[in-house]
Amino acid sequence: MTVVQHMNDPLSDSSGKTAPGRRAPRLFSFLQAHPEAVSLLLLVLICASVAAINPAFLQPSSLIDMGRASVVTGLFALGVFTVLASGGIDVSFPAVGAVAMYGISTLVLNVFPDMPMALIILLCVGVGVLLGAVNGVLVHELRAPALIVTIGTLYVFRGVLLVFVGTVWLMELPPQMVAFGQWSLIDITTSSGVTVSLPVYFLSLPLAGVLTWFVLNRTLMGRAIFAVGGKADVADRLGYNLRAVHVFAFAFAGGLAGMAGAIQASANRMANPFDFAGTEIIVIAAVILGGARITGGTGSVLGTVIGVLLVTVVNNVLVLVGIPSTWQRVVVGAFILLAAAFFVLRDRKTNI
């Protein structure tokens, strides 16, 4: 009886063992269900290859540098992923982060120099939430593609900042912001005697990741976001409030962008009104490489974080080997094309 079962099993040979050639469909099915596994595998391969060539790549000091570099990109990416999951796209987050960072820094310097750091962060997040909510309202009311709307608000927000707030770099921030940027969580002294610190603000990324995961996977709003991103018309007929979903998704992304702005200013000990310009592609690339579809309705927080780490590691490796920054964009673009090819192939296999 056992022999008959093995013979009827399409994944088994006559000896009762699973045929090696049949394992590929199972592997592809797993990758279909977990697209972030592709990015994780690619991340591990890159790290292993570079470490084999240069063991210093995996030293604690290098890992701390990459962790520190991933914070702002990660905060932006979690917000963009939330908007993508709802079926939209946001390219205005660099301007939102810049307005929050520069506007609140100017306010503190000129009006309230002794403002507590917690209040500074809260105000930056509040500015981001407000500007993000504007995006959500415009997307819903105008019934226009979110890409077009946020391109417009990208220029409006940054233009208002430059016209009404200022264009001068703030080179001397309040001491509480400088102290926050220098507040160390872990200090490591390298063999050359240089001390490398993992700042406390690094914790904002895992905390934001846990918050985003909770919102998207454990709340009714998270269910609504994925429902609207999957099929907005069906979600509307089921009773989901599309306006609430759009406003919440963009406001949530704006709040994370405001947090990123506060961290950027504190870490760099300066506020630049032109900061974050051109970061849209890198952040969106990280989200897509993490398995989120540009059409919405899919993706995961874990995949987004993996995508951020992949982009950060790739940029770090390219700098390490001396490749110019212009070529870094070529490499990131190639990764995006590979991810797009994988998703197209996955959809074709699913529809067969």
Read off the pLDDT of residues 239-252 as tens digits, 9 standing for 90 and up. 999 999 999 999 99
- Winning range, highest mean pLDDT, from 63-67, 292-296, 314-318: 63-67
- Does the pTM of the predicted model rise above 0.85? yes
Q: What is the pLDDT of residue 348?
A: 64
Q: What is the mean predicted confidence (pLDDT) over 289-318?
A: 86
Q: How far is CA 55 from CA 52, 64, 77, 115, in A?
A: 6, 15, 29, 45
Of the pLDDT bands very low, low, confident and very high (cuts 50, 70, 90), residue 6 is very low
Q: Are strands 195-199 and 184-189 parallel, antiparallel or unpaired?
A: antiparallel
125: helix, strand or coil: helix
Sequence-ordered list of residues with C-beta below 8 angstroms from that of 102, at least 6 positions apart, any chain: 161, 165, 166, 170, 261, 265, 271, 272, 273, 275
Q: What is the pLDDT of residue 301?
A: 94
195: helix, strand or coil: strand
Domain coordinates of the chain in residue numbers? 36-346
Look at residue 18 and tell me whether its pLDDT is greater than 60.
no
Of the pLDDT bands very low, low, confident and very high (cuts 50, 70, 90), residue 265 is very high
Q: Does 236 or 258 have the greater pLDDT score? A: 258
Give the range among 153-157, 158-162, 193-197, 289-293 with minimum mean pLDDT.
193-197
Closest CA to 293 of 305, 278, 303, 308: 303
CB 284 within 8 A of CB 30: no
Give the range among 116-120, 167-171, 265-269, 320-324 with minimum mean pLDDT.
320-324
- Hey, how many other C-beta atoms are within 10 angstroms of the C-beta on 126? 16
Q: What is the pLDDT of residue 120?
A: 96
> Residue ranges of the alpha helices (H) in the chain?
2-8, 23-33, 36-53, 60-85, 93-110, 117-142, 146-160, 175-182, 204-218, 220-230, 232-237, 242-268, 280-289, 301-320, 325-351
Q: Does 64 or 54 have the greater pLDDT score? A: 64
Of the pLDDT bands very low, low, confident and very high (cuts 50, 70, 90), residue 55 is confident
Q: How far is CA 241 from CA 51, 140, 146, 218, 244, in A?
A: 50, 11, 17, 18, 5
Look at residue 11 and tell me whether its pLDDT is greater than 50.
no
Q: What is the pLDDT of residue 225?
A: 96
Look at residue 204 and tell me whether its pLDDT is greater than 80.
yes
Of the pLDDT bands very low, low, confident and very high (cuts 50, 70, 90), residue 166 is confident
Give CA 160 to chain center in angstroms: 26
Percent of the chain with pLDDT over 90: 52
> In this structure, what token pair is assigned to residue 293?
């579809």
Look at residue 140 and tell me whether its pLDDT is greater than 60.
yes
Q: What is the mean predicted confidence (pLDDT) over 99-104?
A: 95
Q: What is the pLDDT of residue 29?
A: 62
Mean pLDDT of the chain: 85
Q: What is the mean predicted confidence (pLDDT) over 256-279?
A: 93
> In this structure, what token pair is assigned to residue 52?
């084999």
Say how far apart CA 38 and CA 46 lie, in whole Å.
12
Say how far apart CA 70 and CA 64 lie, in whole Å.
10
Residues 218-241: tens digit of each pLDDT = 999 999 999 999 899 899 899 999
Look at residue 16 and tell me whether its pLDDT is greater than 80.
no
Q: What is the mean predicted confidence (pLDDT) over 94-113?
A: 94
54: helix, strand or coil: coil
Q: Which CATH code is given to the segment(s) 36-346?
A: 1.10.3470
Q: What is the mean predicted confidence (pLDDT) over 70-87?
A: 96
Say how far apart CA 340 and CA 337 lie, in whole Å.
5
Sequence-ordered list of residues with C-beta below 8 angstroms from that of 188, at least 6 positions apart, any chain: 60, 61, 64, 195, 196, 197, 198
